[in-house]
A and B are shown apart, each in its own frame.
Chain A
Amino acid sequence: MSRPNAPLPPTAWHTIGPFFPRSFYREGDNDLTRLSADAAPTARGEHIRLRGRVLEQGGGACVNAVLEAWQADASGRFRHPLDPGWRDADPDFLGWGRAWTDGEGAYSFRTVLPGGYQDAAGPRAPHVDIAVIGSGIMRRLVTTLFFPDFAEANATDPVLRAVPEPLRPLLVARPDGEVDGLRAFRFDLVLRGAPEAETPFFVD
């Protein structure tokens, strides 16, 4: 089999529209610590809660938005062959979750504090990639959440450094008390807003 010279063009994106089925969302989908709804949560790493609101132009709540999170395990590994250390990745940690914003635009995830890792592009600080899909969002909006605990690592992270310096604090979650005994972090996503408040999003 020969390799085609011209790859097939990727299919175009569209919005999910206003009617993404509610029954697609089940309790526990926003829990990254479990492989399935009835699996035991991973025992590795510090369990944490991420929460915030998704806001649209004018500061109104962005209701019925779907957020998808993806991150490394507590040791900075992914259970995926493109990670050279993937066989050592936490077998009980899914690393993926989906949350749905409520009437106030609020969402939450349960996960573990991710580990950093060395990438070809530079040393990655602990982070969580978050994608937003929703009505009117014709292509998913991708951004990255960083943690206030790692100021030094954040300063050299190659993705955070791709953000103009004055905007970088917008991608660092804030400590937000405790939920059920877990440290919570707040991360609001302003899809469109004043230049100093709008969340930086990346080319997908």
Chain B
Amino acid sequence: MTRRRRRTLLAVSLALAGLVAGHAACRAATAFEVAVGLGGHVVPGRLAPIRLTFTGLPGDAARLRVLQDVGNAWSGETTMSFEVPLILSDAGDCEEVIPFYDVALPLRIELLSANGRVLARKEAELRSKKEDEPFPVGVGAFSTPFADRSVLLSPAELPRDWAGYAAAESVWIGRTRNGLDADRWDALARWVLSGGTLVVFTGGDFFLLDAPRLRDLLPIASPILTEREDGMRALTGDLRGDAAVLLSKDGVPWLIVRRYGGGSVLFVSTDAFSLDREELAELRGHVPPTRALSLLEATSDLLDRQPIDHPDAWAAAFLVGLAVSALLSLVARREWRPSVGLSLLGVFGFLALSSWLYTNPPRVVSDMYQTDTRLSVYSSLGISVSCSALFSSSRQPAEAEVRLDSAPFELLPRGFESGSYGLSYNEGTARIELALGERRLLAAHGTAPASLQARLTGDEEARLTSRLSRRIPDALLLIDGEAFLLPALEPREEATVYLGNPLPSGMVHLGVEGGPLERLLAAVANTLPLDRGAWLVAGEVTEMWRAGGGARTKVRDVSLYVVEVGRD
């Protein structure tokens, strides 16, 4: 071997070794920190945020898998798996919201490449983070603890997804150095829209917090900073129509409440360091608890009521009667002739053809029944809450795929001795397996652009704008408890409607009387105050059959839109 060749060989070997070593070093350096819950606190059975901060993130990192073992040896065990694409925020971290069922076993988090190879893994202990009930969350600084069991967070620790606040009883915004970014204000606004309670201290700190979304939430318009007689700086402005002054001092309101969607915004006109203990106690007495918007119970009830498709037993009896009569009349009293054979062939062929024509899709038994409900609530922002209830009547285990907006929460039984409750969620699709007679309930939360808008433009007319791609056949306008029937909402259309006389009480029905839309609306009315203010409610029910996974599934989809109506 010549000297030159030896040198080339050595150089190539060194380069290869360098590449391998570099790759290994890069792999070894891949690490991430995990922060679970609100300030590290989780309530089992609720959604919670999980935030990952990476160091040395490899270029091929594509997905994230979170595995959660639920149950124990006595009650049975199952595993929940959530797999989502790795999406980094501007701050370089990754935030997801997933449900937490059990804190006894650690959470397993894996960083995956596009082809499913595990690049790094970590376990997160949850036992010490457990809270039994939702708790008040404070953001920023306060002069004194504002509530028992409260958890203090910095603005950067707040979730960017409204579903991440599921463990919060209320959120209190105190003094912050740089305020909150737009994503977090939007998340808080959506959470309030869904039934959350937000307490905002302002006063001299208002201009640190000031943001368009905050101004949208506040119960006052055109805020200005004034000085009270006691020298305290207070924020004042024009009260909005639905705002109510709860407490005043020296003639200046210091606590004003406003309803926003299903929740409340409490506005404190002074800063977080201006209230003494008595005033804080007084304020606490006016803070309503958060009302969580849940469709689980209503969807389970709708699944129970979902009609079963099957052929009519009377039709089968009629067929049997015809077959028996044909046999008796053609054969029982006759000698054999070829014409008898032809008659039998004709009659029974006709009966077979009739059976074929009769057993069309609406008369075919399904292996699985699925009721999907979706509630979209629109104000200046939009949220969606969806729920899927499934029942299997298949003799064999049937696999179901459910499309959902986010990692779903599954309602679990106390024990897992029978049935398989494991769930695998991968990028918008949850996969579950159901045995005969099994029932499953999944719920998910998402955001939605405000595709429906309504404004009252006069005493008797309203302007409706639909950016939806489909027609919504049933709609009502509710104004302070009175209902007005609206025409169908046409896709991508703007229309002015005249309201006329309100419907007599007892005649207010959305869709079919006692039907799925009406039942879903009744469930939503437990959280959203539809008897106060002006609301547009609209909805549709669709039914279809879906084949896949060796099973035929009948799916009933109930969509309800609830829109907070503005006034000119």
Question: A and B bound?
Answer: no
Residues on A lying within 8 angstroms of B by beta carbon are none
Residues on B lying within 8 angstroms of A by beta carbon are none
